[in-house]
Amino acid sequence: MSVKSAPATPYTARDYKSDVKPVWCPGCGDYTVLSSISKALAELALPPEDVAIISGIGCSSRIPAYLNTYGFHGVHGRSLALATGLKLSRPDLTVLVTGGDGDGFSIGGNHFLHACRRNVDMTYIVMDNRVYGMTKGQPSPTTEPDWDSALSPGGTGLRPFNPLVIALASGANFIARGFSGDPNGTAKLITEAIQAPGFSFVEVLSPCVTFRPDQRDWKKIVRPSPVDPTEDIGRAARRLMTDDGFNLGVLYTGKREPFRLAEHHGESDMTGLEQQFVI
Amino acid sequence: MVDSRKYENSVSIAITGSGGAGVITAGTMLLKAAAKAGWYGLFTRSSGPQIRGGEAAAMVRLDRQPVAAPGENFDILIAIDWHNIERFAVELPLNQHSLVIADPSQGDVPDVIADSGARILEIPLKELAKKIKKGRQNMIALGVLRALIGLNEDIVDQVMVHLLAKREESALIASRDAVVLGGQAVEHAGLAMAQQEVPADGSDRWLISGNEAAGLGALRGGIRFVAAYPITPATELLEWMAPNLKKVGGALVQAEDELASINMIIGASYGGIPALTATSGPGLALMTESFGLAVASEVPIVVVDVMRGGPSTGIPTKSEQSDLNIALFGLHGDAPHLVVAPNSVSDCVFTTQWAVSLAEATQTPTIVLSDQLLGQAKAIIDPPADLAFVTKRATSATVDESFRRYALSGSGVSSMSIPGTAGGQYTADGLEHDESGLPSSQVKDHVAQLDKRADKLDGFDFGDHWATIEGDSPLAIISWGSTTATVREALARLEKQGRHFKLIAPRLLAPARPLEMAAALEGVERAISIELSHSAQFYRYLKGYFEISCPVQSYHRPGPLPFRTNELCEVIMNWSAS
């Protein structure tokens, strides 16, 4: 699904931004992800009042307040569950979930599995910087095993979690990887993710220049995926299992029907319902 | 000597047997037939730890007056077999006036039963069942009970026709024959009671469980979204909601855990759809962090906690009132919220409906403390009135530039913009925030928003619903939840002996209503609080948060056995005489 520039949309990216100044450090990758999200919303011409951005806790989870849409900045790790309740009861809304690797894959890991599996029509954007930034530098599930920190001196010794493989295995319908240093490319991925039915997962490599200054080098490593997106889950699995985590683009698009609850039919007669109790 | 006429106005019956014996089926049929014959009643069950099958006891209490508490001494125990009876013996008190129906093919009557001094009547249930093609002992037992209490034959037949409608016809024929044979056995023993007249009134009564009643109350209150994670003994509430929500245009989703279920309902309610979940102690513990999120972000939700024995996994299938502390005090920070408790199966309808109304009107999360005893009991009740509450959630259909989601107002309640409302965009947040919802760690915002959230409840007019208050006396009993049903029965019995007491049973547990309690205690010289908790949680709450100028004693003990009327009569008599 390609996104063409212009037919003029009534909105610009600016219309989606609030006046609130982010708490992020200068140079944080999340600034451009914020811009990419507003660009995508403008591209799709979604009225801000019909969009809800849901998040948990962490640097990137601060995003809802920086946008002029509806938002919910909830507790740590539960954003996908809150978004699921909202989207299932209000299917008319466009629901996005934003957060980081600790929020999504550690404390929120179970909800990640089940959100992929449930395949509700929403878009999950994880700004992966392989570190807990808000608590000042602890390893997350995607951190390299030998990364040294005060909490895990000498490294955790644990193999990093591969979120894209897990998303695929759990049933996500759209899987992509972006890089915050490429805001236009990321905006395009997010646009496609929102348009794709079902649960869309976009991992955005978003460097933490404060606690992971080594990630400044990511811009030299990332590259567009050398192959086109696939609808073949086996092929996608092989690609995702064997790539080095720096291939960018749409990596898998599935054809699963999104999960919906039965449509609301308005009030029915409570008296009729209560007849079941009459002896 | 057993005099069957004494069953005319009230009777307590227990049916026991091992897995597959069908005691629950027999008990259910008996209750339904009794309901149609004009009785009020209460059905409770006890079962072993097995997932399916295993020994079980069906306990049916029938009365000509409405009943809300389980029976105490059983008038009739009918044992299809004696498998693991020692597990139930303590739950099935018998005395010399009781009648025990035993099948001689199942061996001697165990000492735990025989020692009660009850009269033993031998009826060969198994042998009689064998006389019928596809005959079953539980249906023989139903026939025995029908004849003993003089239940109308045609009504029992109607119930069998209804309940066996989906089975092949031979099952109905076998059941009919079995009921006839069971009845004949009672006639041969000279214990059959003449079939009682079926009164013309009473046909509008309901047969409903506490869990179903809470579900119905939720629907009456306007709940249209439920997120569910199964847990004993709350699962039936959720399972009842699944199909019934659909009938009123709502829906239920099964969550991956309780952390998800509470966040799902917060999400739905944020979207403008009144939402609820139900759980028990372990699930409530998992939900507390996000319950606090609903307090801070002012999103109305309702959580029904069907309490069971704790702590930890505790005793999942038995009742206790020991989640009071976590419901009142389980949240971190200063987090005003609502806790309400129904005090009978019938009151589960009203209190849950009220809970939805309170949550929506005050934009505050609300806990309903039901328990296993109420939730899993089935009762024959008069149809509970639908009190349509007028106060709805304050929302803004149109919003101008001055809109602030958490604006400070006199009552503390501010208008909520529902997603889709242009110009009403805001970010709901667990972070402390200013009036517009933006994160703030400033003193003035923190104090203003803490005050706002407290004011919503402090200034709310809860009306007379805050407590059930009955009788007048300088001696008062204070109780809450399911215990109140048994206290009521005890007080009714003592009343007949010319002893008067006042009952005060708060339905609203949080926020505490010290002034209303003080008013209720006017003229009271002494009080006793009664609860099913090892550490006297309710008593300590009363002492700490209410203005009680008279001396208060506590009678408390843990579950899993519910209070019995005679136990409480004795407690109250000893206390009042001291």
pLDDT above 80 (res B536): yes
Instruction: Give the span between the Cα atoms of A173 and B372, in whole angstroms.
Output: 42
Residue count of chain A: 279
DSSP string, A84-137: HHHHHH-TTSEEEEEEEHIIIIIITHHHHHHHHHHT-SEEEEEEE-SSBTTTTS
pTM of the predicted model as reported, rounded to 2 decimal places? 0.96
* Contact residues on chain A for B290, CB-CB shorter than 8 A: 74-75, 78
- State the best of A57, A63, A86, A121 to mutate against chain B, taking most chain B CBs within 10 Å: A86
Q: What is the pLDDT of residue A268?
A: 65
- B244 touches A: beta carbon within 8 Å: yes
Q: What percentage of residues in chain B have a pLDDT greater than 70?
A: 98
The pair of structure tokens assigned to A107 is: 């404390």
Whole-angstrom CA distances from B429 to A63, B172, B302, B405, B439 are 12, 60, 19, 11, 8
Q: What count of other Cβ atoms lies within 10 Å of the Cβ of residue A204?
A: 27
- B257 touches A: beta carbon within 8 Å: yes
- Selected residues 65-84 of chain B with any CB under 8 Å from a CB in chain A: none
Mean pLDDT score of chain B: 94
User: Which residues neighbour A269 within 8 Å (Cβ) at sequence distance 6 or greater?
Assistant: none
Instruction: Give the span between the Cα atoms of B79 and B102, in whole angstroms.
Output: 6
A-B contacts at Cβ under 8 angstroms:
179
Query: What letter would DSSP give residue A278?
Result: B
Q: What count of other Cβ atoms lies within 10 Å of the Cβ of residue B375?
A: 31
Instruction: Give the span between the Cα atoms of B457 and B475, in whole angstroms.
Output: 31
Task: Judge: B425–A65 Cβ closer than 8 Å, yes or no.
Answer: no
Tell me, what's the ipTM?
A: 0.96
Question: Nearest Cα to B377, choosing from B415, B330, B344?
Answer: B344
Q: What percentage of residues in chain A have a pLDDT greater than 70?
A: 95
Yes or no: say if B428 and B438 are a contact pair by the CB < 8 Å rule. no
Q: What is the mean pLDDT of residues B324-338?
A: 98
- HSE toward the beta carbon, residue B432, CA cutoff 13 A: 16
Would the CA dihedral through B78, B80, B84, B87 be positive or negative? Answer: negative
Q: What is the mean pLDDT of residues B82-87?
A: 87
Q: What is the pLDDT of residue A1?
A: 42
Q: What is the pLDDT of residue B196?
A: 84
- HSE toward the beta carbon, residue A268, CA cutoff 13 A: 13
Q: Which of the residue ranges B27-31, B163-167, B288-292, B435-439 would you say has the lowest mean pLDDT?
A: B163-167
The 10s digit of each residue's pLDDT in B248-307 is 999 999 999 999 999 999 999 999 999 999 999 999 999 999 999 999 999 999 999 999
* Contact residues on chain B for A92, CB-CB shorter than 8 A: 420
Q: Which of the residue ranges A177-191, B83-97, B318-332 would you say has the lowest mean pLDDT?
A: B83-97
The pLDDT confidence band at residue B390, using thresholds 50, 70 and 90, is confident
Residue bearing tokens 């009762």: B379
CA distance A185 to chain B (A): 27
Task: Judge: B427–A274 Cβ closer than 8 Å, yes or no.
Answer: no
Task: Judge: A49–B422 Cβ closer than 8 Å, yes or no.
Answer: yes
pLDDT above 90 (res B88): no
CA distance B162 to chain A (A): 12
User: Which residues neighbour B69 within 8 Å (Cβ) at sequence distance 6 or greater?
Assistant: B42, B485, B486, B488, B489, B562, B563, B565
Quick check: bond before B336 cis, omega within 30?
Answer: no
Q: What is the mean pLDDT of residues B430-439?
A: 97
Query: What letter would DSSP give residue A27?
Result: T
* Contact residues on chain B for A20, CB-CB shorter than 8 A: 438
Question: Nearest Cα to B287, choosing from B308, B272, B304, B273?
Answer: B304
Q: What is the mean pLDDT of residues B228-256?
A: 97
Instruction: Give the span between the Cα atoms of B144 and B14, in whole angstroms.
Output: 13
pLDDT above 60 (res A83): yes
Q: What is the mean pLDDT of residues B372-400?
A: 90
* Contact residues on chain A for B431, CB-CB shorter than 8 A: 73
User: Phi/psi of residue A232, each to 5°?
Assistant: -90, 115
Q: What is the pLDDT of residue B182?
A: 97
The pair of structure tokens assigned to A139 is: 């390893």
CA distance A218 to chain B (A): 32
Q: Which residue of B has its CA nearest to A260?
A: B253
pLDDT above 70 (res A267): no
* Contact residues on chain B for A64, CB-CB shorter than 8 A: 427
Instruction: Give the span between the Cα atoms of B123 and B186, in whole angstroms.
Output: 8
The 10s digit of each residue's pLDDT in A97-137 is 999 999 999 999 999 999 999 999 999 999 999 999 999 99
Q: What is the pLDDT of residue B1?
A: 45
Q: What is the pLDDT of residue B6?
A: 80
Q: What is the pLDDT of residue A2?
A: 46
Whole-angstrom CA distances from B212 to A193, B234, B375 are 42, 10, 8
Yes or no: say if A100 and A73 are a contact pair by the CB < 8 Å rule. no
With residue B372 as reference, give the H or E element that holds it: helix B372-376
Q: Which of the residue ranges A169-173, A267-271, B542-546 would you say has the lowest mean pLDDT?
A: A267-271
Q: What is the pLDDT of residue B429?
A: 97
The pLDDT confidence band at residue A266, using thresholds 50, 70 and 90, is low
pLDDT above 60 (res A91): yes
Q: What is the pLDDT of residue A264?
A: 57
Strand intervals (E) in B219-343: 225-228, 251-254, 275-279, 302-307, 338-340
**Cβ-nearest to A69 among B260, B272, B425:** B425
pLDDT above 70 (res B511): yes
Yes or no: say if B353 and B218 are a contact pair by the CB < 8 Å rule. yes
The pLDDT confidence band at residue B53, using thresholds 50, 70 and 90, is low
pLDDT above 70 (res B3): no
pLDDT above 90 (res B204): no
Q: Which of the residue ranges B52-56, B288-292, B508-512 would you say has the lowest mean pLDDT?
A: B52-56
The pLDDT confidence band at residue B446, using thresholds 50, 70 and 90, is very high
User: Which residues neighbour A224 within 8 Å (Cβ) at sequence distance 6 or greater?
Assistant: A247, A248, A249
